[in-house]
Structure 1
Amino acid sequence: MVSEKARLRIVIVGAGLGGISAAISCALAGHQVTVLESAKELAEVGAGLQITPNGTCLLKKWELPESIWAAAAVPTVLSVHRYKGDILAREEGFDKNIVKKYGSPFVDLHRVDMQQALYTRATDLGVVFHLGERVSSVEQAQVHPSVRTLAGHEFSGDLIVAADGLWSKCREEFLKVKDSPLPTGDLAYRIVLTLDQIKDPKLQAWVANPEVHFWIGPGAHAVGYSLRAGNMYNIVLLVPDTLPDGVSKDAGNIEEMRKLFQDWDPILTSFLDEITSVEKWKLMHRPELAHWVNDQSNLVFLGDACHPMLPYLAQGANSSLEDGAVLGGLLGKLISKKQLPYALKRYESLRKSRGDAIVRETFKQRHDFHLQNGSEQEARDKLFLEQLGKPLKGPFPSRWTCPEVQPWLYGYDAYKEVDRSYAESPFPEK
């Protein structure tokens, strides 16, 4: 807990997972935190989240309410299927193996459950939320930076944290140019089915007994996993983008969607037959941001505002949690406000290289999961099958269980990284 002379007034723009995580971490460090959110209520769009050990270790450290663990589904198996259903990779006892290796679980959560648990913890810590406040401008030049909203309100402090997502207004203000996200060429169909919507007993058993299943095929792949302790099923279909330019989300045509997967595994197509409505989302990305901190050291970026991630490794949410933890952890080391520039520079050095590297790794996973039928796909499948039922050797086509990539992703402890870095090089006392 910082002393009074080091206590910052922090304004966080965005109440997504990254913004609230930063709010919790900064509040635990002893700072005064205000969060601005453009939505009038906290009801996150989307559905399932896969929270890997690098994320769950933070949820435990932040002492989130027990409701979040009751709402989780813990997958016992992770499988990769060829798109017609054949098993390419399968890890039994996935839940136990993960905890043994990393000391924290891999859980599947509904995004709303996650956000509400974070919000509850933040408010318990005294974080103040202002909903329905869309940012119109950011003033960085003055001693105390400020944010003005479309409602005409102004919020100032010692530090502005830009956690306003893929369509970040703060990023636009920082770069002084219109900076729209770029299409990746893919879109996602996002589907949630409750147990009572599913009539087939075989499918009900899939939902009630949580596992993670990937189906990988030419130019597309699907992932399915249970939510809410096995009472809900989440499916994401990743396919070539057919949305018009300028349209980021639209209602999906169910028959069009089913046609894309008509020759796939009957288990998957049976789930798709249960669907009565679906939405499709254009998957977007951004070029790497050269710097995450402005020259005045009073504006800092985190999460999708600086490193948006494709969903192919489920690290978008987890990396945002890491950002928030590292930022708050470093700001908890301050002895005076004069050290803020050093803390922000350290945050960028600790987080930027990892965030950008994860972004690059997601594109590699997309490539390996979406191979067209042919020699490269056959070589990939051979590599899968040669290790089926055996201890894995890297590099492995599925980074979810790759013995080289998985430890790098899941073994990261944000607070340990902060303590290690600070012990090696404390902030100058001036």
Structure 2
Amino acid sequence: MAPRLEIVIVGAGLSGLAAAVQCALSGHSVTVLEGAKELAEIGAGLQLTPNATRLLQKWGIYDNIQGTCEPRTCTVYSYKGTVLAHEDDFNKNCRRKYDNAPFADCHRVDLQRALVDRAEDLGVHVVLGSRVVGIEFPEDHQKETANGIQNGQPSTTSPKPKITLATKQNLTADLIVAADGLWSTCRSILLNRIDAPQPTGDLAYRIVLELDQIPKSNTKLRDMVQQPGMRFWIGPDSHAVAYSMRGGTMLNLVLLVPDDLDEGVAKVEGNLEEMRALFQGWDPVLTSLLTHVPTVSKWKLMHRSPLPSWTHPSSRLVLIGDACHPMLPYLAQGANSSIEDGAVLGALLSPSINPGFKNETDLKAVLALFESLRKKRGERIARMTFEQRRDFHMRDGKEQVERDEVFRAWREGAGGKEGESFPSRWTCPVVQPWLYGYDAFREVEEAVGRV
């Protein structure tokens, strides 16, 4: 008989729900524990790239995400409004290059709800208001492993860990998947010490602007919302990105600027006049948009150093998503790579995909293979987000002039040096195929074939 594990996933974010869907499809009993009491509209817009949408298509989820917008254009402007890079038919080009997997913009909660619906259809139990405060790994595990004896019999598996919730409820699992995000409790449990995220030096003003908040007389701005496109404005120490969602009735606008929040403050309500002052003198299209913003929040952008391992020595706990490889949002890969994590982990736990997985005694090998497939890519993308920040946040001067010359050469068809990255990795012919062309299931099948 195919093995059926009791899998507990900590966190109902995108990585946790993606893992839940694929683990359920792989035949396991899955429970998702989420500390929040409801799935609220937190985080606003989200950009889904083909490396994730091909998975959502495979799972039957993509078409159920409310109001997705596939941007028809991708444009990079200087902060003064000069076009540095532009691509028409961006939506069609992505589908053509990546096996009909789209690039799509949506509201985070719409994707989250579509994932929850699919997971629950597959029998996954999503339990809200269930905050994990502790995980206990039996102290005698190491002794059993060393002696290979338990009650006079050979020990083939380690004891199951015990999960403790804030409600004092306890439960056990064959495998715990820690998908509890940037502020992961499970990460600190794995390391056996408090491990807080570190500031990057940047913060984000996150804005959702509804079409009705723009006067009907301002047809230019209303057309920006209704005709989906992706727009970047790049300037000294800062940049802005805007894109449509919910069927062109809403604009997501994110302003990335130097961090001025106090230490220990992760999110506050933003001051509109302060925000607008930071972009004084920028492209009038952007500053005009900002005049219509009714409220804004400020989010400190955090990161973490790479971990030596994502897996507990017992092979009963593994970290995925932002718990182990958080990223700056400058390539929109935090969510997308987290969905990849869930797909790869769940696929490796499928005996039909991975014949080497026969029962829970194979967890050590499965998690080792998972980490070997995912760790290098996740950490490389995280490093690349800092590189994108550098190229988008140049102050006026020699480096900025050289960067804009690279933009000009590509725009006029001259291209760059062989293997040279384009300053905007969103459309870079070197970086984009590596990011967007990644197929999690093909990766697993090839890796399993090599074992």
| TM-score, length of structure 2 as denominator length | 0.92
Aligned residues of 1:185 and 1:241 also touching (Cα < 8 A): yes
Unpaired segments ≥5 residues, structure 2: 142-158
Question: Are 1:140 and 1:299, in contact at CA under 8 Å, matched by a contact in 2?
Answer: no
Q: Map of 1:88-167 to 2, 5 A cutoff?
A: 88-103=84-99, 104-141=101-138, 143-167=159-183
Q: What's the counterpart of residue 150 of structure 2?
A: none
- Which letter maps to 1:80? V
Residue pairs, 1:13-412, within 5 angstroms: 13-64=10-61, 66-68=63-65, 70-103=66-99, 104-141=101-138, 143-199=159-215, 200-332=218-350, 333=354, 334-390=357-413, 392-393=415-416, 394-412=420-438
User: Structure 1 residues 379, 120: CA separation in 2 closer, same or farther (over 3 Å shift)?
Assistant: same
| Aligned residues of 2:10 and 2:178 also touching (Cα < 8 A) | yes
Check the 8 A contact 2:67/2:246 in 1, yes or no. Answer: yes
Q: Distance in 2 between matches of 1:94 and 1:312?
A: 18
Residue by residue over 1:286-316, the C-alpha shift from the partner in whole angstroms, topping out at 9 and shown as x without a partner, is 0001101111101000000000010000000
> One-letter code of the match for 2:411?
L
Distance 1:254 1:387 in 2: 37
Deviation, 1:140, is 2.4
The AA in structure 2 aligned to 1:239 is: V
Asked whether the equivalents of residues 11 and 155 of structure 1 are also in contact (C-alpha less than 8 Å), the reply is no
CA contact (8 A) 1:52 1:318 kept: yes
Deviation at 1:389, TM superposition (A): 4.4
C-alpha displacement of 1:391: 7.1
- What is residue 444 of structure 2 aligned with on the other side? 418
Q: Give the AA of the match of 2:161.
A: P
1:74-110 CA distances to partner (integer Å, 9 max, x unpaired)? 1011000000100000011111111111111100010
1:235 CA drift (Å): 0.3
Task: Tell me the alpha carbon deviations over residues 153-176 of structure 1, each in whole angstroms, 9 at most, x when there is no partner.
Answer: 112110000000000000111111
Deviating above 4 A after TM superposition, structure 1's stretches of 4 or more consecutive aligned residues are none
AA matched with 2:294:
T
Task: Name the stretch that deviates more: 395-404 or 314-323.
Answer: 395-404
Contact 2:344 2:444 in 1 (8 A): yes
Q: Which amino acid aligns with 2:82?
A: D
- Cα distance change of structure 1 residues 391 and 40 upon mapping to structure 2, 3 Å threshold: farther
In the aligned structure 2, how far is the partner of 1:288 from the partner of 1:44?
30
The question of 1:8 aligning with 2:1 is answered no
Counterpart of 2:12, as a letter, is A
- Following TM superposition, by how much is the alpha carbon of 1:12 offset from its aligned partner in structure 2, in angstroms? 0.4
CA apart distance, 1:65:
6.4
Q: What value does the CA root-mean-square deviation take over the aligned residues?
A: 1.1
- What are the Cα deviations for residues 122-148 of structure 1, in whole angstroms up to 9, with x where unaligned? 000000011111111111236111210
Alpha carbons of structure 1 residues 350 and 97: separation in structure 2 relative to 1, 3 Å: same
Paired with 1:79 and 1:55, the residues of 2 have a C-alpha distance of 22
CA distance in 2, matches of 1:387, 1:415: 33
SS at match of 1:152: coil
CA deviations 1:200-239 (Å, max 9, x no partner) are 2110001110000000000000000000111110000000
In 2 relative to 1, CA 324–88 (structure 1 residues): closer, same or farther, beyond 3 Å? same
In structure 2, what is the Cα distance between the partners aligned to 1:272 and 1:15?
Answer: 33
Would the aligned equivalents of 1:74 and 1:229 in 2 still touch at CA under 8 Å?
no
In structure 1, stretches of 5+ residues that fail to align are 426-430
Q: Give SS of 2:411's match.
A: coil
8 A Cα contact 1:194 1:232, kept in partner: yes
TM-score of the two chains, using structure 1 as the length reference:
0.96
Secondary structure at the residue paired with 1:387?
A: helix
1:44 positional shift: 4.5
Structure 2 Cα separation of the partners of residues 110 and 203 of structure 1: 20
Letter in 2 for 1:33: V
Contact 1:8 1:31 in 2 (8 A): yes
Q: Is contact 2:280-2:287 (8 Å) kept?
A: yes
Identity %: 56
Q: Measure the CA separation in 2 of the matches of 1:159 and 1:342.
A: 13
Other structure's SS at 1:262 match: coil
The answer to whether the Cα contact below 8 Å between 2:57 and 2:63 also exists between their aligned partners in 1 is: no
State the AA in 2 paired with 1:340: L
- SS of equivalent residue, structure 1 residue 225: strand
